[in-house]
Structure 1
């Protein structure tokens, strides 16, 4: 069942398949129509030619009979003497042949047959011919003892006599069969050649469209202007026009994306300094002011937290903007991850008043916990992951920071007991502005994890996630070891 579905999808699910199917169908219909029409015309021509031949023989015989005053012009077979009848029979023999037979039906129903010779006279055919014409005067073809005959009533005389002629249709059948054989042979060869030509032409037409599709699939914000579409001079006019339109669209997108980057970078820079000043003044006001009421202090504390959140958002936007423009700078150095994890845990304790945080160091004593990273950026990554874990975990739940060895270096796991991530969202969780479908109850912009992925990539590491909805998540940060440590370990 699956193979049938795949076959239909391949044939009908693509432009190339539909064009091929349409042309194959047209060729098949054309071939069938031409063959059928040819056979019908051939059969009709054979019958007409046979009738014309029989009519010519009958007319010639009638002229001779009238010339000798045996029939026609008031003469009747009742006036024949035995000698005249013998002359008529001899005339019938002269006009007959191996294929053709002529005879006269008298008014009383008797038959005047050709003179007996080496060729047998098919009397059964004669009787069958006259009987068939009595039932249907338009009868042309009859079959007697597995033989087909073409029959014709050549002349009816006023005195009651009728002149008949017939011919075997076996030659017409043989010619028709030969014609059919050649038609099939030539038609099948032509159809195969047509199908091959159609396949090549359809693929040539579709190839530029496939090229545009591949270019679209590989298109990113950074390659909008770096890899222009070449001129498709061999493609059809409509495809060339589509390629030009697509190229113009890429240019407009590149310009729009460039303007967007400049706007985000400029706004982030302009807002970051005022927000830092506002945050500083709020912090000093809370610390130094003595006459504030509890409500006023809570309001200022809320304003300070929101200003911190806005500054972190601007920092994320700046990092993404720098990453897109290739201006993201990091200070790679050897970092002791054991110490850094402890520091990150201490910094997080103040924000996790209603969550439990534990640190597990699973690195063996004789192994180094050093890795290559930017300590400030790595600290930002871990704090973002811990904040993300706390955001989607219940009060009193446990968040674990686990340091462990990894085949590609050293890994730091941030594990929680939160709501987890649906399986359908896992492939997209590190994309910008993407939020899992079960995260609607929590605030967020969808930028935090995309910044984490950007920073880890810039540090030469990676971040991955394992999660099941309702059972929590585990984000793993993997960093390479220093060259000296890696070589000594190997």
Structure 2
């Protein structure tokens, strides 16, 4: 059966031929009922003929439909591989499908190209913002520190100037990083890493800050535990969570880092003895710039947890939070135990 013959016209012709044969056989069977001599011969033959016609009809329809689906499947495979064939110059439903699919693929390719062009423009803009603001902010910080060292008067004003300058620097860096993350410009390169060594590095980044509040920071992890992650971005993600634990734990409290290996994931839990989080606020704490009522007065921008979740998600992990007011919080980071083969 030729593919070009499979159309509405082909089906109509098949219906006409098979239907005509079926009606003739039905008529012969009915007519034989009025002729006693032929009833034993014609009726069985007519019934057998009707069965054969019905079988041939169903077989032909099935063959035609499968041929259409096979052609569509082959055309879709070519489209997926980027070898889109030109539509056939035929007046069939299959040719119409190929024309519409070809149009869809071309529109999709154009949208993909436009998205890449916009992404490149955003990346260039972010790079310009980062580069153009780096020098002025560095100069502001430098002059502020010089004023703090040399000025004997208005020290409180100078201290506020230094603090706000550092906050501005952090804010711009964070916004640039957040925009790159949201637009898929930050590429994670995960690899198999020792989790204990990673945790020691993260604790070391915040050791002095924890010592200032006399916090007891402990780590519980086996030496041989490994996970599949990008140490650079995970160090920042886990650091944001540990930084929050230090910030919201009262002086003299404790922070426990516990690593638990499972079959598919490795769980890094950061538990503190801080103020805790109300249940209704837990779904919102990962939102951009969200600050809870109890933490609104504390230093921060409300971006750390958002960035942490995005970075962990980009590495095919996830974060779970367990907390109650007055009982501290437990942030659990689940990372893939092994990379995909």
- TM-score by length of structure 1 reads 0.39
Distance 1:430 1:389, change over 3 A: same
Aligned counterparts of 1:333 and 1:451: Cα–Cα separation in 2 = 20
| Whole-angstrom CA distance in 2 between matches of 1:434 and 1:476 | 20
- Please tell me whether residue 410 in structure 1 is matched to residue 266 in structure 2: yes
Preserved contact between residue 145 and residue 162 of structure 2 (Cα < 8 Å):
no
Aligned to 1:354: 213
The whole-number CA distance in structure 2 between the counterparts of 1:318 and 1:284 is 25
3-state DSSP class of the match of 1:378?
A: helix
- Aligned positions, number: 222
TM-score normalised to structure 2 length: 0.55
Q: 2:182 aligns with which of 324, 327, 330?
A: 324
Structure 2: gaps spanning 5 or more residues: 1-117
Partners of 1:358 and 1:444 lie apart in 2 by 21
Aligned pairs for 1:112-123 within 5 A: none
Q: CA deviation at 1:356?
A: 1.1
Deviation at 1:341, TM superposition (A): 0.9
Shift of 1:296: 8.7
1:285–1:473 distance in 2 versus 1, CA, 3 Å: same
Structure 1 residues 273 and 360: alpha-carbon distance in aligned structure 2, compared to 1, 3 A threshold: same
Residue 369 (structure 1) aligned with residue 230 (structure 2): no
Partner of 2:249: 393
Pair 1:292–1:404, CA change in 2 (3 A): farther
Distance 1:402 1:305, change over 3 A: farther
Paired with 1:275 and 1:401, the residues of 2 have a C-alpha distance of 39
How far has the Cα of 1:456 moved from its partner? 0.5
Task: Evaluate the alpha carbon distance shift between residue 354 and residue 299 of structure 1 in structure 2; reply closer, same or farther with a 3 A threshold.
Answer: farther
- Cα-to-partner distance string for 1:148-175 (whole Å, 9 max, x where unaligned): xxxxxxxxxxxxxxxxxxxxxxxxxxxx
Match of 1:462 in 2: 318
1:412–1:478 contact (8 Å) kept in structure 2: yes
Partner residue of 2:130 out of 269, 285, 291: 269
- Aligned equivalents of 1:316, 1:431: Cα separation in 2: 15
8 Å contact from structure 1 (residues 275, 307) kept in 2:
no
Secondary structure in 2 matching 1:350: helix
Alignment of 1:437 with 2:293, yes or no, is yes
Structure 2 CA distance for partners of 1:335 and 1:277, relative to 1, 3 Å? farther
Q: Per-residue deviation at 1:455?
A: 0.5
User: Aligned-pair distance for 1:301?
Assistant: 6.9
Identify unmatched segments of 5+ residues in structure 1: 1-257
